Amino acid sequence: MSDNGAREAILARMRLALGDAGEVPEPPRDYRTALDAEVDVVAMLIDRLIDYKANVHHGIEAIPEALGGAKRVVVPEDLPLEWRIGAAFVPDANLSTEELDGMDAVLTGCAAAVAVSGTIMLDAGAAQGRRVITLVPDHHVVVVRRDQIVGHLAQALPMLERAAPQTWISGPSATSDIELQRVEGVHGPRRLDVVIL
């Protein structure tokens, strides 16, 4: 049976099972899409990041502290020069996975940050580089400008390039899949430092 034939067979069985279930009602669209104007989204983001065990720093001058003594730091080729302080920076010119694994840290920008969930979003845009550079090194330092911080996910989605590969970060990489024991660094960096400008 062809893929199209299999699809039609499945849909036919679904139609039969539904019988005369009637029209599907229009889902309500009056859900919250933004936080109240008086909410301090920067403070909320910081609170969420700290809760997720990320380290938060303020200002460009805090980048060396955020790097925590890292010697070799991979950066996107278009990372602003004024952010490159406190280490030996290696621009990513399609570095191999092995080369990236040998780096002490990665320093990038981001596309948006959502205060209510503490999520930092990258879409391979300006100052972000390839997705792989943010997943292989064990330490990710990400710079977030205040104008990139929004309260709600619905506000952040239009800020992203829809067709680009995206990485959404809510704290350092961790999983509890195996015997409910928390293990960090399985799916990305073990350490996350956020510098807010």
Quick check: helix, strand or coil at residue 170?
A: coil
| pLDDT-based confidence at residue 94 (cuts at 50, 70, 90) | very high
- The structure's pTM equals 0.81
Give the mean model confidence (pLDDT) for residues 73-101: 97
Quick check: helix, strand or coil at residue 167?
A: strand
Each residue of 17-60: pLDDT tens digit? 888 778 888 888 888 888 888 999 999 999 999 998 999 999 99
Tokens (6 digits) for 178: 């195996």
- E strand spans, 21-130: 55-58, 72-75, 88-91, 105-108, 112-114, 119-122
| pLDDT-based confidence at residue 185 (cuts at 50, 70, 90) | low
Q: Distance between CA atoms of 80 and 127, rounded to whole angstroms? A: 7
**Cβ(185)–Cβ(101) below 8 Å:** no
Q: What are phi and psi of 149, to 5 degrees?
A: -90, 120
| pLDDT-based confidence at residue 170 (cuts at 50, 70, 90) | confident
Tokens (6 digits) for 99: 């080369």
What does the mean pLDDT of the chain come to?
91
The C-alpha angle with vertex 171 and arms to 64 and 141, in degrees rounded to 5, equals 20
Instruction: Identify the residue with better confidence: 177 or 135.
Output: 135
Q: Distance between CA atoms of 105 and 195, rounded to whole angstroms? A: 14
pLDDT at 168 over 70: yes
Helix locations, the chain, DSSP H: 3-18, 41-51, 63-67, 97-101, 153-156
Give the mean model confidence (pLDDT) for residues 79-102: 96
What domains are defined for the chain?
33-196 (3.40.50.10420)
Instruction: Identify the residue with better confidence: 75 or 52.
Output: 75
Q: Distance between CA atoms of 39 and 151, rounded to whole angstroms? A: 8
